[in-house]
Chains A and B, each alone.
Chain A
């Protein structure tokens, strides 16, 4: 489908020029490390639906508290630097939710190598995230969309 779209775009010169202008504009305004509220605040992004920066911070803080209370997976985090983890995860969530941030941290493989996270423990973190999203009263479709964007990363995180 996207190839078809591209072909259509390419054949229409006007559209092509227009779209590259828009694209460059987006890249320019969104490549910054720090979230800029004015940057492409498209209300249709998952980022916006999650409540932008403040919403994502609440989610990550809730998740950190839930991890701290969880018998099953807390041990992975025993040695972690909480503020570094918090900042990295906020940026990562902002990125995958199409927010105005690009995750700058180490790759998923680099971070999780050596942890040997099991399938069940991965699912446990997913459950904790769902609990937090429920507590924060997000609608089910919004919760589901965030989960849907994290799920494909599993193979980069577990059993390494």
Chain B
């Protein structure tokens, strides 16, 4: 965690704090636990930060999640350039209570908007992204016979906000296709053959500041440890363009073959 705060300071120093505010409130979404902008679990086609075509933005976030036998802490930073490119860095620490240890993973991400705007274009906004994952604590993965400790996830996402679509309320959806070889998102290393995995999110805006939604993220099961698909229900609050608070209920079913992993998730982020 120390390194990530250093990294954050470095980012802030590198980029004289922008004053990006050209996007409409809440439209950048929140930060995923892997650092890319999105929901909590699924990277979306939107880019982090409120930068529009002639602005840049910096965002920092920290997320805590507690499952029955695991707890996850993530902090990260995102740099948004001209509503065109998003760069992200995240440091994850997964506490594994049954083993009394924590597994750390670093994720470097880049995402670029290929087409559209979630509000204004006729067709959905489409982006392409890469998450470069580096597992730092390899012992657990190695003990399962895994020998690959870093890999890239590639994904393509499409999203759209339909204004006043349901009885006057805005509706949002995102569809992501991810090419991944990660086992439990990388905490248990990576297999040698990658798979395409669909991930979906949908949300409704209760008003200008609050959105509620759900996500579903499918995962491969390369180790045949009964890896589950993950889902959540979330509520996100955007009191202004600087602050976001997201709270979620997680249902991960089974993680690393340990069943009944549901719990809570809280994420805070600040944008400049």
Chain A residues in the interface with B (C-beta under 8 A): 118-121, 123-124, 126-127, 130, 134, 139-142, 144-145, 147-148, 151-152, 154-155
Contacts and interface: CB of A to CB of B under 8 A. Distances in A.
Contact of A118 (B54, B117, B120, B206): B54
A142 B168 contact: yes
Given A118-B54, A120-B54, A151-B120, A144 B164 contact: yes
Given A123-B52, A141-B169, A151-B119, A118 B163 contact: no
Interface string B240-271: 00000000000000000000000000000000
Name, among B163, B167, B169, the residue most crowded by chain A CB atoms within 10 Å (CB to CB): B163
A148 B164 CA distance: 6
A87 B205 CA distance: 32
Given A144-B169, A148-B163, A155-B120, 18 more contacts: A118-B52, A120-B52, A120-B53, A123-B22, A126-B24, A127-B24, A140-B168, A140-B208, A141-B167, A141-B169, A142-B168, A144-B163, A144-B164, A144-B170, A145-B164, A145-B168, A151-B120, A151-B163
B206 A140 contact: yes
A36 B21 CA distance: 41
A151 B55 CA distance: 21
Contacts of A147: 163-164
A144 B24 contact: no
Nearest to B27: A123
6 contacts: A118-B52, A118-B54, A127-B24, A140-B208, A145-B164, A145-B168
Nearest to A133: B208
A119 B25 CA distance: 14
Contacts of A145: 164, 168
B143 interface: no
Interface residues of B, number: 23
A142 B164 CA distance: 8
Contact of B53 (A119, A124, A127, A155): A119
A7 B48 CA distance: 47
Contacts of B168: 139-142, 144-145
Interface string B43-56: 00000000011110
A120 B80 CA distance: 15
A43 to B, nearest CB: 15
Contacts of A119: 22, 52-53, 83, 117
B230 to A, nearest CB: 31
B24 A140 contact: no
B10 to A, nearest CB: 27
B55 A120 contact: yes
Going nearest first, the 4 A-B pairs with the smallest beta carbon separation are A141-B168, A120-B22, A148-B163, A148-B164
Nearest to A140: B207
B68 interface: no
Contacts of B52: 118-120, 123
Contacts of B208: 130, 134, 140
Interface in B33-78: 52-55
